Structure 1
């Protein structure tokens, strides 16, 4: 193989796992003492704040109520003193602009005493509550011009501040929202908090008016399963496509992929587990309840998952997790890949969002009931969700429309682009019974008999799991499986919160309207039956990968939107503008800006990929092909005099055939690469981001696929010692 690839493999062979050291190697009983120690949560507040101040800030965190500005200075001082003890010299407002990453600007606590050259450490309530980063260079979708720079960050008191430790110090990170000087949301968090309040209010009113339940708050909760790949960093640095695009643009299928199904839940490699253990301890210190880790289906693919948290905290923790996975992987000589499909031919990565609604008292509203009242409550919320998903399937699909998901949705590891709901056999029977006006039975839990003596009886879940469903009920929550692994989870959650809240309002108002003419029970039954009858088309419990389902979905009138541009055009439809405007989640301007930004991100991603592919082929692949072509031709030339003098000697047909195949394949690759370049130039002539997205999708991507086809074929016949970049069999299997 090439010298560079050989050097990388020899390095990996000799490398020892990095010792994480410190608490990672200590006894597990230390976990309870260090958990949450790097966050300014309730424990730290209790120790640093006056009792009356602690009670007020605790109420804000528990209920989302408005913070009293009078206690802001006390909280800021307590937070500063705590952070300094943790080694922090700086603070930052940590926020999520619309570029898919976290942003921060560091300010030191230092100040100068007036009239003296004496250094002070200060942090005021105003500095805690409000910041002013430059807003000009963040994506705004036309809301702000580059010369209009003012933007504000506003403290989210419901998500704890945290310490981020670096080798030479620490920074206090304060989760905040981010808005423009003119008041529009420029971030992922502001509309998420609005949607959480909206779904809470509609749930509270519904519970109070229809079930006589009184609660202070209802919270959407998330449990976010994060999938990712880990490969050796030296392989990564030798692949320009991974460096520039996060995925491999070329690469022949290796002799072995995932067909042996031996990686899933297999024993974890010692180097990998050392890396993930260090990540876990860092996240535990940050208060994220990481619980699960395991090998995923594809070689080199892994998953970690936490216990459920409130949606905004879970979203913040997931962004922190992705950042720490990347930094810790680098320390261990690895690279963490979050792209949805970094390697063709093996499973891609998702971010399954397990979503539910919970009261402030801890009651899960998606738990099937044990009493008639609880069961009626469950059926109502279930009906609202079914209606919401059916009416707003276009929005749910658009919420996961990112470039990487085009390669993943509909493949063998991800749900299809057709949005549907999986309920399971028992719950589906309940829904059908309601529609058909037969007896309604609450879902039950039987015992499973495994047929082995000595095994205890196991409670049987009321639903199975369905990997092919984008939105599956899994016992007491819905799993939104279509979210991409690289995504910020906020927008999918915003959509879910908003459409369910709107649906709750519709069903509640319909029942109350019916109650003017009949009793509550009759009104309830009538509205639930009519709603389920109108929207049960979105329920599908079969194989979502099958061609049969595509035909069934089409006959039901369900949309199939396989590409990102097709999904994004629906965001600012009249229906969706009305939905977000009436709920005060996103104004028409804010909604349009998000659509524009998503188009821009898609277009820039595809253009970067196209240009990267052209460069890789031109500067790496083709020179190697020409070198090998020359060596084959030279070998033929070297024996031609002998063949001419020995007429009866066997002809080197294999070499002639190989040279012919090489010449043809190289010509095809050269021509397809030139065609790609011409289309890249042509793409600059399109006028709008919308038009460009369809041009890229319909012309550039097929051209890239052609280039890849010819390049991957050449990889299988070029001398291994000449091929210039690491191969799949090396990157996926060598640790």
Structure 2
């Protein structure tokens, strides 16, 4: 098996001789080539149908059957004209991945010929087996019916893979009884709730605002590893992370990877990825090296939240596909390697009006400034009121490894605003008028030949899970493998709810005779006082902050099973039912699904540990130990004194000690798994895996990493971290 390791390393090194960079074409020429955009519909739809579509979408109404028939024919003509042979409803079940079932356009005729056929009913609705996806008990094996339903707000696209082209139609996924079984349906509901609530509050300032939508930019961090090395690590294959491995002598301590020159082979992958993404309308803008070795980031332009999330999920599929062409594997696990930075999916969220105003951008007039403060403070208040729910929205087995370490934010939800905006809120809290939010012309200057550089109105705090960054909030705690729909559904919902509460309180004061601006300020000032505890400007990694957070009454829920409890709390159930996001049954089902997902991932990791220990590590250690024993026997036979081979004896003893401890702990872990598996309550099972099974992971890792440093390198069966991180 050790031979496989060296063959993998050799294969990875040989890739450098065959790097091929695709010719970069002008992005604007290729952008959206494979997307059936509204502008393309104009060329395929009758004029009256096109006008009806635009009017219907703008008004947020449902598309009629007749219009859907027109669109289905237009979509078919466009797709077939671009080489598509099949179509699929593309949806996001609660597995964490996307799902699709392909059907051919062709249909045979009685005379033996065939035609290409695609109807309105095929566009609007399909029927996957709902009991085969996570449902939390909503669907049983004998109750399998579920439906995918077309989402017209996210355009259809053609996905090219394996030499074929498939028309993909973004859809929601619901059960026969109407409950959501996906990430998109609840998100769309919160978008509607947020739109209505924000428009109502914006009406205090600008009656021309008739629509407000959440804008989102998702920064995607990821690691790349050579495909041969990946295939030689069973833990990477089955869990997405290295369960063992002593850290390379050189890691990220020299801080020389971040924003460094992109390795040529990696750049070839990035160029290829960008071209494929642009064809699918994904507006990738940024690429760079991240902090850890072999860690990178790509980021798109901001888009409407539903489309941004669809594009991120599509991007993950695309990254896998393109990486294989370059003999890479993309790792999106939050912590694929211990002791260096993990990966996040930073969600940059803001609110935009139909008039083009960013409601989270400081204004230039007192009126606009009061509007900014209103929405700004309402977001802060919402996060303060529902911090535990926001924490639950980013909880997962993989993100638990990342939160609170190496640049990742802690499990304590807090908000960073920067000294300037904190001072503004402190001033507003005591002042009777809304003053202009200063954007001081503070400049860095005095460096010869360098232009003046203007400071932003906030600094950045990389330890903050939720930070204001000038005209948006950056939710940094979202994990790299997460579907952003989950945290964004929660954020949309809690802000919508807070804006509803705000309008109600302001209306009551106005009804009592208080002038509108003063009523607005009164409630804003009240919210500033009530939400002070959530604001924190310091180092989120420090023990001092944990102590301070406890004094402030902020939660610090470090593991997923307990973090998820808030999903079935009375407060959360009332919130979701009030906004028509989830009913009680749906909320409980989500809770059950997330718990099951957690324990199954830990269960898989435990099984992989047991398999690797018993079939790979122990044999390699015993093999080397036998070599040492033969060596000692030979020295004895040659008449060497005991002191001449004391080092070998010491190594033999150390190997025995480590391998014995590993085997004992692996068996003890297996016994704890057996106990956990028979627990009927899903929460009890998840907590048992968290508290009884998972602690053995670090115990086994410690001793196995010690063995890695002792055993002959030629006999060690698994690619080492120095190879995984630096052979690229």
Normalized against structure 1, the TM-score is what?
0.97
Deviation of the 1:135 alpha carbon: 1.3
1:32 is the counterpart of 2:32 = no
Query: In structure 2, what is the Cα distance between the partners aligned to 1:489 and 1:53?
Result: 34
List alignment gaps of at least 5 residues for structure 2: none
1:128 is the counterpart of 2:123 = yes
What secondary structure is seen at the aligned counterpart in 2 of 1:695?
helix
1:72 is the counterpart of 2:68 = yes
Query: In structure 2, what is the Cα distance between the partners aligned to 1:167 and 1:124?
Result: 26
Corresponding residue for residue 6 of structure 1: 6
Deviation of the 1:2 alpha carbon: 3.6
Give the conservation status (yes or no) of the 8 Å contact 1:367–1:378.
yes
Deviation of the 1:650 alpha carbon: 4.9
Deviation of the 1:450 alpha carbon: 3.1
Deviation of the 1:18 alpha carbon: 5.8
Deviations 1:375-409 (A, max 9, x none): 11111101111110001001100000011111100
Q: How does 1:622-637 map to 2 (within 5 A)?
A: 622-637=618-633
Corresponding residue for residue 583 of structure 2: 587
Corresponding residue for residue 663 of structure 1: 656
Corresponding residue for residue 112 of structure 1: 108
Query: In structure 2, what is the Cα distance between the partners aligned to 1:355 and 1:70?
Result: 36
Query: In structure 1, what is the Cα distance between the partners aligned to 2:285 and 2:222?
Result: 16
What secondary structure is seen at the aligned counterpart in 1 of 2:568?
coil
1:285 is the counterpart of 2:279 = yes
Corresponding residue for residue 711 of structure 1: 704
1:189 is the counterpart of 2:184 = yes
Corresponding residue for residue 320 of structure 2: 326
Cα separation, partners in 2 of 1:624 and 1:405, compared to 1, 3 Å: same
Query: In structure 2, what is the Cα distance between the partners aligned to 1:445 and 1:303?
Result: 32
Q: How does 1:433-444 map to 2 (within 5 A)?
A: 433-437=427-431, 440-444=435-439
Give the conservation status (yes or no) of the 8 Å contact 2:444–2:455.
no
1:397 to 391, 405, 411: 391
Give the conservation status (yes or no) of the 8 Å contact 1:151–1:179.
yes
Corresponding residue for residue 487 of structure 1: 482
Give the conservation status (yes or no) of the 8 Å contact 2:336–2:342.
yes
Give the conservation status (yes or no) of the 8 Å contact 1:93–1:173.
yes
Corresponding residue for residue 167 of structure 1: 162
Query: In structure 2, what is the Cα distance between the partners aligned to 1:230 and 1:679?
Result: 34
Query: In structure 1, what is the Cα distance between the partners aligned to 2:17 and 2:688?
Result: 47
What secondary structure is seen at the aligned counterpart in 2 of 1:39?
coil
Deviations 1:436-470 (A, max 9, x none): 33763413142422321332222210000110110
Aligned residues: 726
Deviation of the 1:700 alpha carbon: 0.7
Corresponding residue for residue 413 of structure 1: 407
Query: In structure 2, what is the Cα distance between the partners aligned to 1:288 and 1:398?
Result: 29
Cα separation, partners in 2 of 1:33 and 1:61, compared to 1, 3 Å: farther
Give the conservation status (yes or no) of the 8 Å contact 1:131–1:154.
yes
Deviations 1:558-616 (A, max 9, x none): 00011111211111100000000000011111111111100000010000000110110
Query: In structure 2, what is the Cα distance between the partners aligned to 1:326 and 1:334?
Result: 8
Q: How does 1:665-684 map to 2 (within 5 A)?
A: 665-684=658-677
Deviations 1:102-149 (A, max 9, x none): 011111111133x42220111111211111112120000111111111
Query: In structure 2, what is the Cα distance between the partners aligned to 1:332 and 1:651?
Result: 51
Cα separation, partners in 2 of 1:571 and 1:386, compared to 1, 3 Å: same
Greater Cα shift, 442-451 or 359-368: 442-451
What secondary structure is seen at the aligned counterpart in 1 of 2:658?
helix
What secondary structure is seen at the aligned counterpart in 2 of 1:380?
helix
Deviation of the 1:70 alpha carbon: 1.9
Corresponding residue for residue 354 of structure 2: 360
Query: In structure 1, what is the Cα distance between the partners aligned to 2:97 and 2:54?
Result: 29
1:696 is the counterpart of 2:689 = yes
Corresponding residue for residue 528 of structure 2: 532
Query: In structure 2, what is the Cα distance between the partners aligned to 1:664 and 1:83?
Result: 64
Give the conservation status (yes or no) of the 8 Å contact 2:19–2:265.
no
Give the conservation status (yes or no) of the 8 Å contact 1:399–1:495.
yes
Deviations 1:454-512 (A, max 9, x none): 32222210000110110000000000000000011101000000000100111111011
Query: In structure 1, what is the Cα distance between the partners aligned to 2:582 and 2:440?
Result: 41
What secondary structure is seen at the aligned counterpart in 1 of 2:131?
coil
Query: In structure 2, what is the Cα distance between the partners aligned to 1:17 and 1:110?
Result: 44
Deviation of the 1:328 alpha carbon: 0.8
1:372 is the counterpart of 2:366 = yes
Corresponding residue for residue 220 of structure 2: 226
1:610 is the counterpart of 2:606 = yes
Deviation of the 1:703 alpha carbon: 1.1
Deviations 1:300-334 (A, max 9, x none): 11100000001110010000100010111111111
Deviations 1:140-173 (A, max 9, x none): 0111111111111111001000000123320000
Greater Cα shift, 136-145 or 443-452: 443-452
Query: In structure 1, what is the Cα distance between the partners aligned to 2:449 and 2:712?
Result: 59
What secondary structure is seen at the aligned counterpart in 2 of 1:274?
helix
Deviations 1:216-272 (A, max 9, x none): 321111100001110001111111111111111111111111101111111111111
Give the conservation status (yes or no) of the 8 Å contact 2:417–2:458.
yes
Query: In structure 2, what is the Cα distance between the partners aligned to 1:419 and 1:445?
Result: 29
Corresponding residue for residue 337 of structure 1: 331
Give the conservation status (yes or no) of the 8 Å contact 2:8–2:232.
no
List alignment gaps of at least 5 residues for structure 1: none
Deviation of the 1:65 alpha carbon: 3.1
1:382 is the counterpart of 2:376 = yes
Corresponding residue for residue 239 of structure 1: 233
Cα separation, partners in 2 of 1:732 and 1:565, compared to 1, 3 Å: same
